Amino acid sequence: MKNGKVAVATVLLCMGAPVIGQAQEFPTGDLRYLLHVEPGGATDVMARRLAEQLQNQLGVNVIVENRSGGSGARQMAQLARADADGLTLGSVTASHLGMFEQSGQFTSDSVEWACNLVLEPYLLAVRTDSGIDSLADLVETAKAAPGTISVAGFGQASGGHVAWLMFNEAAGMEDGVVNWVPYDSVGDAVTATLGGHNNVAIGYIGLVKQHVEAGTMKVIGIMSDARSEIMPDVPTYAEAGYTVDTRWQQFRGIIVPQDTPIEAQEALCGAVETALKTPELQKYITDSDLIEGFMPPAEFTEFVKAQEAATKTWLARLGQ
């Protein structure tokens, strides 16, 4: 591509969006992509693939930096110090909402919600030699010996934690029956479970599929309305007899520093939407059993506010 900047300007004209700073093109320099997770997890892998496509499209460097810690708080501190010029972006998932509720330092208004990328359902996975072959087995084992079963996921009060609490309630398990063990990434939680440090991991298809195919892990339930085409033998929670709100799904999106001009957000997201349509990212989305869920700034912000309300409700109900 001879000029990625011209391509983005063309996208903006087609969208009817104003050009940044009257005549200024986007981007005006390299992009900095701050991730809230460790390398190797599902969010990290997709972010790096997106960065590669943006780099090819825009003709600038897209520098990916992992700033894990505090369930997103360390990344947020970096974003808060960054210029609001559209050149710094951050990864974001539903887990940030729980962190906002607990940190006292940041809120959903501390950033601009630029655009969403994909949606994905949660699932529960165990080692194949765990002796737990179904959701019913998990519940029965946990109730028979309270405090002996541990579930691993990303961060205290994260999106995965809330998803677990939903199942915990649906299964009629009291607080303390199962131990929640937070990690700095879902990838770390899956690795720890494979290593026998935990009994169950809550994650996503794209992150556990390789272990399922290798015969080292088994998925015992998926939190969605329908079975996955990639794992058709895995029952939904409802099929196993546990009713949960399947609208609660993980999302992967992009945030930018507070007060980043809407024109900069729209320009960035126009490039992101184009990148998501490339054959490379389309294949990744399909292979990872993700749901395409691009949302521009206004729609994404509205979506997040609804998720935030649900987060507050669940954390309050369950004393988190």
Residue with tokens 């939407």: 273
Identify the band that residue 126 occupies on the pLDDT scale cut at 50, 70 and 90.
Answer: very high
- Quick one: residue 72, left, alpha or beta (phi over 0 = left, psi -120 to 50 = alpha)? left
DSSP label of 124? E
Of the chain, the percentage scoring pLDDT greater than 70 comes to: 92
* Cα–Cα distance list, 99 to 83, 257, 306 (Å): 23, 17, 16
Among 256, 265, 258, 261, which residue's Cα sits nearest to residue 296? 265
Closest CA to 205 of 217, 196, 194, 193: 217
Percent composition of the chain: helix, strand, coil (DSSP 3-state, to 5) = 45, 20, 35
Q: What is the mean pLDDT of residues 38-49?
A: 91
Reported as a single tens digit per residue, the pLDDT across 217-249 is 999 999 998 998 889 999 999 999 999 988 888
Note the helical H segments in the chain. Answer: 4-15, 42-58, 73-81, 95-103, 135-144, 159-170, 186-194, 205-213, 262-276, 279-287, 297-317
What is the Cα–Cα distance from 59 to 57, expressed in whole angstroms? 6
d(CA 43, CA 45): 6
What DSSP letter does each residue of 274-318 carry, written as one string?
HHHTSHHHHHHHHHTT-EEEEE-HHHHHHHHHHHHHHHHHHHHHT
Nearest to 245 by CA among 319, 162, 143, 181: 162
Question: Do 271 and 8 form a contact (C-beta atoms < 8 A)?
Answer: yes
Q: Domains (ranges, CATH) in the chain?
A: 4-119+251-317 (3.40.190.150), 123-222 (3.40.190.10)
> Does the predicted model carry a pTM greater than 0.95?
no
Q: How far apart are CA 300 and CA 313, in angstroms?
A: 20
Place of tokens 């599902």: 42
Question: Which has the closest alpha carbon to 221: 213, 211, 231, 230?
Answer: 231
* 6, pLDDT greater than 70: no
Determine which of 132-141, 179-188, 309-318 has the lowest per-residue pLDDT on average: 309-318
pLDDT band at 23 (very low <50, low <70, confident <90, very high): very low
Q: What is the pLDDT of residue 318?
A: 65
CB 205 within 8 A of CB 288: yes
- pLDDT above 80 (res 85): yes
Q: What is the pLDDT of residue 207?
A: 87
- DSSP annotation of 158 reads -
